Amino acid sequence: GEDVEQSLFLSVREGDSSVINCTYTDSSSTYLYWYKQEPGAGLQLLTYIFSNMDMKQDQRLTVLLNKKDKHLSLRIADTQTGDSAIYFCAEIRGGGADGLTFGKGTHLIIQP
């Protein structure tokens, strides 16, 4: 199976919370990331979490990590139309010398 898995689409209503889920297979992952990609653009680093943490909050974003189940989630509170994008979960196993392993990305669709 894939190293990092995400569902491909998530549809939410504007103003609701969005929860994007990700599972990974490698227990040696040291850092896990969420990136945002808008159409035709590069990747914007949203947030990251170290593997010994359970939760990280940054304004509207909350990251939850369940290391036992190898499950990572990103919650976006009060979802806005500007949040419409593809969200990639990624992991790194070592330090700065390693590239990232990405999931296929979750396309977040905002309904008015």
Partner 1 sequence: GAVVSQHPSRVICKSGTSVKIECRSLDFQATTMFWYRQFPKQSLMLMATSNEGSKATYEQGVEKDKFLINHASLTLSTLTVTSAHPEDSSFYICSASRSSYEQYFGPGTRLTVT
Residues engaged in binding partner 1 (CB under 8 A): 30-31, 33, 35, 40-45, 48, 50, 88, 92, 95-105
Between 16 and 63, name the residue whose CB sits nearer to partner 1: 63
Residue 78 CB, shortest distance to partner 1, in Å, is 26
- Alpha-carbon distance 26 to 11, whole Å? 28
Tokens of 45: 């680093």
Are residues 37 and 102 in contact, defined by beta-carbon separation less than 8 angstroms? no
Please report how close the Cβ of residue 4 comes to partner 1 at its closest, in angstroms: 8
Structure tokens at 6: 């995400």
Cα–Cα distance, 88 to 108 (Å, whole number): 11
Closer CB to partner 1, residue 43 or residue 64? 43
Tokens describing residue 57:
């909050």
Q: How far is the CB of 28 from partner 1 (least distance, A)?
A: 14
